[in-house]
Amino acid sequence: MNDGAVMTEQSGDSRKRTRAGGATGPRGGDTFEAHPANPDASPLSPIVRASTPELIAHQLREAIAEGHFVAGQQLLESSLAGSLGVSRGPLREAMQRLTQEGLLVGHRNRGLFVMELDEPAVRDMYLARGAVERAAVEHLIGSGRGESARELLAIVDGMRECSGAPRDVSALDMRFHETLVALTGSPRLMRMHGSLVTQVRMCLAATEITYQRIEDRVGEHGALAEAILAKDAKTADQLLVAHMDDGLRRVLDVRHERT
């Protein structure tokens, strides 16, 4: 018999070979195999790796949102491939994704360009954004989850501490609205809102110069969070609509000044 195995008794004449080092049973000659309590359970979970096109798309979205690629700018494959250190295949796939999202626009025989923040596009974006966020506010209050607005107040406190840093305030501004929708727990609302995030960030970056006092932005968001916390649906909706109207006006004012 192989030294690395021992024989164990089974019912009838059946025999089973097990590896040495198995657990010893009540009788000295018996050994038993050790089995986990749940054979299907595993302490490990699958590793999710983002694909190269997905990583490229993320970097391009961030660059557009931060204003590194401005509205109307052409994106050249050769330049991007060199900067990112990737081949043109995954780059084209990433750019196709952004085209489907509306962030890039293709012009025949000319190439791909960052979407223009023209008036119809901006108005349409704020219309869609307002619909999603108003639905989120209505759901939070109607479902008795107004208390969750305390998370929003914490973000407002962070905005208040960012005196003199408009870009940081804009980042927290965006987080406030993303959190507002996320608190609903609705995958579809979050997905719809997520499709607008980069365009919203483009607008926020454009309007940073229009806020003379950070306290104005802090006050708007704080009042909205307080209304949700108080479960005052009418006031919360009115504040959100006014906030959206103000944001739209600021974006259009900036655009008109630059044209």
- The predicted-structure confidence for 126-178, as pLDDT tens digits, reads as follows 999 999 999 999 999 999 999 999 999 999 999 988 866 778 888 999 999 99
Domain housing 87? 52-114
Residues 165 and 220 in one domain: yes
What total of structural domains would you count in the chain? 2
Whether pLDDT at 125 is above 80: yes
| Any domain includes 168 | yes
| Any domain includes 44 | no
Tell me the mean pLDDT in the region 120-131: 95
Cβ–Cβ < 8 Å for 183, 148: yes
Residues 126 and 102 in one domain: no
| Any domain includes 46 | no
Residues 95 and 155 in one domain: no
Nearest Cα to 250, choosing from 207, 189, 191? 207
Residues 89 and 140 in one domain: no
Whether pLDDT at 258 is above 80: no
Beta-carbon contacts of residue 164 (< 8 Å; ≥ 6 apart): 214
| Any domain includes 33 | no
- The predicted-structure confidence for 2-15, as pLDDT tens digits, reads as follows 444 434 444 444 44
| Any domain includes 14 | no
* Structure tokens, 26: 């009540």
pTM over 0.75: no
Sequence-ordered alpha helix ranges (H) in the chain: 52-65, 77-84, 88-100, 119-142, 150-160, 166-182, 187-194, 197-207, 214-229, 233-258
Residues 58 and 151 in one domain: no
More confident residue, 251 or 45: 251
Cβ–Cβ < 8 Å for 71, 115: yes
